[in-house]
Structure 1
């Protein structure tokens, strides 16, 4: 006999596991198709890693971009994705994402209170590639008043980083705030952010931005569509009749319950970034579950449950990497810090090993280096001088603001009056570090990085300093004291997972689908393969394949 759900029911058309953007989009789409749907979430909060993310959505040719006057074509997007992804992902799956993404946004967004808008000039990560766009294809949610959630606001997964209530920063804001002391648009943007904060206080609002806004908007749509969302309800196993998945076994209020899924189950429970055993099994050292900013509930439960039924996996050795600083309060995911002029990344030999301003997945791939075994260029240090610290924001600190003492105590930061003394503190050859800096300073003066082409790409220049000539990403390290900041291979989550088809159906090793089982988001192997198309290239595909799963479920009987 099947135990009932907390509301007494035990049977649904569709059961969705996970409340990030993929799961909520799948549940909302299924409900809009007239399917009786329930969403279960392991954590005590909804939103998962989406709520902790930057909230960007990369979907070429969508109506939000068109309304902003951004021109794009399906042919350009297809050429671009095929060029950067290559044969790591089937062309049919790439095509399914590009074809369905705009339709997904056009159908899903009207059901939400979200107002999406283009992120101005936030370039694709490889804008010079065929079909790439230097002006970018990313969209984000405008700040949203969290009061639309009512009592559900208390159940929203906290965002990455802490800030006073209503002091919200969008992706568009972030670029210029980093240049607060260097560009007129910096103070103007700070004034805009401050005015928004003041008005929100006066109006009694509770503003949300980034992934918080996206998660809140989707949750409002689920509430309005009558989709129940059960928190504190982890997946234990999948029910099946030998050939077809028929439901899920979950735990709620300390009891195991079976939820029957008449049409099917959508697994959208994130990756396995917080599962040390799985990471050590599949990924290269060093691995630090403490370096991820993914939701803590993401331990790969849905992936391993599907594997027990014979599901195939792909890309398990990879992640949505990003160079990160292991600060005492948690990792800081570096975006602008390593791109701005006046800093370099070096390895334990005191040598540069790649383009510091490269897309963050590529930057960590360079830290690990080719082949297997431990990372070749770790430990990694970001080296900067005092002029760099005087000019730019750094890990949430303002220009000229000293690094906190606890950062030094934990070894995240070292400081010295000379390059040689700094080298001794971080145990790298002093002569090598001096040579590296002098060579780089020459590149900075003539504006061309002859070793790694830093600053050549439009993406490199996005987080650069427009006032720094001749190259916005290259600046000499000359002004004492000098700093070394520890850099580790952090991530936004893992990108390996269940192999799926164009309908998001989970596949066996022989390529046949496991009937009744679908996966989207980081529970599935990324359609981006080993690369990253642009800002929001995690969430855009996650939402799209959640949508495609629900669309296909609506055709099942």
Structure 2
């Protein structure tokens, strides 16, 4: 026991948790007249029992009151005065959390219920306490620090910041911000009268309710992983802080708030840097581009640091080419492999990469990639909203030594409603990868969508999905169930917003600021205004490469006209890097990620490009021919070797040809499988149709006899199950993307059921792979091989560590995120 505290104390919410712990702490520190206020009489009785175990001479007044009832609060405080004559210390521990529900889905009644208790109830209590304290004579050891009373209000860390989008509690957050506001206003107003008012803002505290929540899978368990001490605060620890605020030791504190962050405070609240001379704004880290590489780097640079981070996205949508992708990452040795019973080893991975890359194998870059790849996956899952799923996908060259299954991982689907209004700025997936404009689905559910009336399960699934999509359109203007690359972007956006990263859309990096071997910042154009932005630690270039720049593409690619990359991929990162002294390496084996491209030319708006990576051309019942009607390659081959074969054959235009069965089962590009309509695509000549193969050849503009001969020859191969010309369907990769229900070869079926269809294709790319030369930490290197200080290149702005070769699915996103992770750690001094 001590005599730190004296006088009459009133504690609301005293029946459990922080209120109960504060009651006990006050008794230990000398309080002998104590009023308990709570709606739960049993809880107050339990608190009284614990008090008497400490000191049975304490006078305890128990007051049952509903804190949403103004009159009940007024009457309770008057009862304290009637019993003890005054109130020297008041602790307003008032608050309910309310339902975890986004604003768009919350009723006014639910919102008002929280406000009535957490804000209005607390304000009424504070008002009555102030009125009583103004009637009291100042007391204290000397005239200078005499006090009429002290009030402490319970706010929350959510009074300073917002929770993650996955745990929306809008009224609670608004009220806790409001508690801080009323604390500061009244502290200023009544300080001269000798009334001190402060607030305390705990994070998660180990109350009985929280203990129950931690036992369940979900947000509490995820939050607990982030706590440096490995535990949440105990109520007694918060109680001691309250004891300090009401004691003479804090006699000069008023209008203050003690913040109890359960993880490093700087991970959510960034220090606002003073504007430096010659600059309009100042950040520690500026990231150019918002694909997976840029967002991963931004998150890594921000997490657990006081770095102020900006992401500048050139277009109006976040996600870059990642949003168009399948969202897969090639991460050899990833932790998901062991969950699937697959054992990988560093030696086998290196052997495989040496087999694939040959003389292009660069030891320092590959070693850095292999060092950090598994760690990146585990670290992102532990600290961010990103979640991965293991697969049994094979490497692309399973005939090579060291090849393995499971090195490609996918991103878990994501509920985009957690992003709130930001969901509207997630880049749309490609047409053909979604239905009805923006309705996405998991690839595993494609067969369900093809046969919605086949059974009750299919019908129920499709009906529920359509109902949700209709609701999403009304609320958000687009679908919010995100899959594949969109899911990865959504999860990364939630992660960076949680860490306080600033996002600028329609923000073009015009030119660098710096020289003498270092970067100092960037000139960024936003809202038609040039803004000089200081980057105190680093500029990270992740602008998406140059796939949509005609100038750069003509210089470094065989075809400059066709790309499925984002229109913002104009080579900004390379231009800025070279201007600062960065260098380009010798040309790669391939300077881009190749793919056949189909084009839809609408009456209005830009041309829509669609990459035919695997989903249609790998299936049985189709062929790809050149302008003479001849096959020239294995249609089911991985996209990179298929593109290389296309260029080697000198093909500038090709055609995906299939019959009615093929189109209805598998679709052709933007033409979705049955039962979805294709009439609009036929009218726009995206897809050509004819009743016979010779008629189809005439529509294409080639010799009918040649195409008919090619189809006849292929049909013979298909019936035999063996492609003597190009060995289609013989490799494990081919078979993995074929149709397992088709025997004996899952990639071969004859084209024989009219009508027949042709889809014009062009030898294009999905992304460039030729970029700035970097070291093992993604630092941009000058022509002498020395780093340009503070400058990093990531994703497609970094030259491919595979030199344009492709060991497995996700060989751009995988290294892109790994080196972004390394860059974020390195610039923060953590690597």
- Band the TM-score falls in, shorter-chain normalisation: 0.7 to 0.9
Q: Distance in 1 between matches of 2:645 and 2:769?
A: 17
The C-alpha deviation readout for 1:17-71, integer Å capped at 9, x for no partner, is 1111111111111122523332222222222222222211221112233334333
Aligned residue among 646, 654, 657 for 1:383: 657
Q: Tell me which stretches of 4 or more aligned residues in structure 1 moved more than 6 Å.
A: 186-191, 199-205
Q: Which 10-residue stretch deviates more, 322-331 or 389-398?
A: 389-398
The alpha-carbon distance between structure 1 residues 241 and 485, as it changes in their structure 2 partners (threshold 3 A), is: closer
For residue 4 of structure 1, report the CA deviation from its aligned partner: 5.2
Could you say which residue in structure 1 is the equivalent of 2:529? Answer: 255
Aligned residue among 571, 581, 596 for 1:323: 596
The alpha-carbon distance between structure 1 residues 202 and 279, as it changes in their structure 2 partners (threshold 3 A), is: closer
The alpha-carbon distance between structure 1 residues 231 and 123, as it changes in their structure 2 partners (threshold 3 A), is: same
Aligned residue among 406, 423, 426 for 1:136: 406
- Residue 88 of structure 1 contacts residue 530 of structure 1 at CA under 8 Å; is this kept in 2? no
The C-alpha deviation readout for 1:338-368, integer Å capped at 9, x for no partner, is 1111111111222111110011122222222
Could you say which residue in structure 1 is the equivalent of 2:303? Answer: 32
Structure 1 residue 124 and structure 2 residue 395: aligned? Answer: yes
Q: Distance in 2 between matches of 1:474 and 1:249?
A: 55
Q: Distance in 1 between matches of 2:471 and 2:311?
A: 36
Q: Distance in 1 between matches of 2:498 and 2:617?
A: 43
The alpha-carbon distance between structure 1 residues 132 and 533, as it changes in their structure 2 partners (threshold 3 A), is: same
The alpha-carbon distance between structure 1 residues 116 and 71, as it changes in their structure 2 partners (threshold 3 A), is: same
Q: Distance in 2 between matches of 1:369 and 1:403?
A: 36
- Residue 56 of structure 1 contacts residue 539 of structure 1 at CA under 8 Å; is this kept in 2? yes
Could you say which residue in structure 2 is the equivalent of 1:115? Answer: 387
Q: Which has the higher helix share?
A: 2
The alpha-carbon distance between structure 1 residues 452 and 191, as it changes in their structure 2 partners (threshold 3 A), is: farther
The alpha-carbon distance between structure 1 residues 109 and 323, as it changes in their structure 2 partners (threshold 3 A), is: same
For 1:261, what is the secondary structure of its paired residue?
A: strand
Could you say which residue in structure 2 is the equivalent of 1:90? Answer: 362
For residue 255 of structure 1, report the CA deviation from its aligned partner: 2.5
Could you say which residue in structure 2 is the equivalent of 1:221? Answer: 495
For 2:656, what is the secondary structure of its paired residue?
A: strand
For residue 113 of structure 1, report the CA deviation from its aligned partner: 2.6
Q: Distance in 1 between matches of 2:681 and 2:443?
A: 26
- Residue 285 of structure 2 contacts residue 540 of structure 2 at CA under 8 Å; is this kept in 1? yes
The C-alpha deviation readout for 1:134-157, integer Å capped at 9, x for no partner, is x43222222212222223223322
* Greater relative CO (CA pairs within 8 A, separation 6+): 1
Could you say which residue in structure 1 is the equivalent of 2:726? Answer: 452
For 1:223, what is the secondary structure of its paired residue?
A: helix
Match runs of 1:384-533 below 5 Å: 384-397=658-671, 399=673, 404-533=678-807
Q: Distance in 2 between matches of 1:399 and 1:231?
A: 35
- Residue 517 of structure 2 contacts residue 581 of structure 2 at CA under 8 Å; is this kept in 1? no
For residue 415 of structure 1, report the CA deviation from its aligned partner: 2.9
Aligned residue among 607, 610, 623 for 1:332: 610
- Residue 140 of structure 1 contacts residue 171 of structure 1 at CA under 8 Å; is this kept in 2? no
Q: Distance in 1 between matches of 2:538 and 2:508?
A: 18
Match runs of 1:17-416 below 5 Å: 17-32=288-303, 34=305, 35-119=307-391, 121-133=392-404, 135-161=405-431, 162-164=434-436, 167-174=439-446, 176=447, 180=450, 195=464, 206-285=480-559, 287-288=560-561, 291-314=562-585, 315=587, 318-328=591-601, 330-334=608-612, 335-369=614-648, 376-397=650-671, 399=673, 404-416=678-690
Q: Which 10-residue stretch deviates more, 293-302 or 397-406?
A: 397-406
For 2:513, what is the secondary structure of its paired residue?
A: strand
For 1:325, what is the secondary structure of its paired residue?
A: strand
The C-alpha deviation readout for 1:442-492, integer Å capped at 9, x for no partner, is 221222212211101122112212222210101122333332221112332
Q: Distance in 1 between matches of 2:688 and 2:676?
A: 12
The C-alpha deviation readout for 1:129-179, integer Å capped at 9, x for no partner, is 22222x4322222221222222322332222234359943224445x569x
| Higher gyration radius (CA) | 2
Unaligned stretches of 5+ residues in structure 2: 1-272, 603-607
Could you say which residue in structure 2 is the equivalent of 1:373? Answer: none
For residue 423 of structure 1, report the CA deviation from its aligned partner: 2.4
The TM-score normalised by the length of structure 1 is 0.88
- Residue 441 of structure 1 contacts residue 475 of structure 1 at CA under 8 Å; is this kept in 2? yes
Could you say which residue in structure 1 is the equivalent of 2:21? Answer: none
For residue 3 of structure 1, report the CA deviation from its aligned partner: 11
- Residue 770 of structure 2 contacts residue 804 of structure 2 at CA under 8 Å; is this kept in 1? no
For 1:234, what is the secondary structure of its paired residue?
A: strand
The TM-score normalised by the length of structure 2 is 0.60
Q: Distance in 2 between matches of 1:457 and 1:253?
A: 52
Q: Which 10-residue stretch deviates more, 162-171 or 53-62?
A: 162-171
For 2:765, what is the secondary structure of its paired residue?
A: strand
Q: Distance in 2 between matches of 1:398 and 1:14?
A: 43
- Residue 696 of structure 2 contacts residue 757 of structure 2 at CA under 8 Å; is this kept in 1? yes
Q: Which 10-residue stretch deviates more, 498-507 or 309-318?
A: 309-318
Residues matched between the structures, number = 540
Q: Distance in 1 between matches of 2:555 and 2:437?
A: 41
Q: Distance in 1 between matches of 2:333 and 2:641?
A: 25
For 2:507, what is the secondary structure of its paired residue?
A: coil
Q: Distance in 1 between matches of 2:539 and 2:458?
A: 45
Q: Which 10-residue stretch deviates more, 193-202 or 91-100?
A: 193-202
Q: Which 10-residue stretch deviates more, 409-418 or 88-97?
A: 409-418
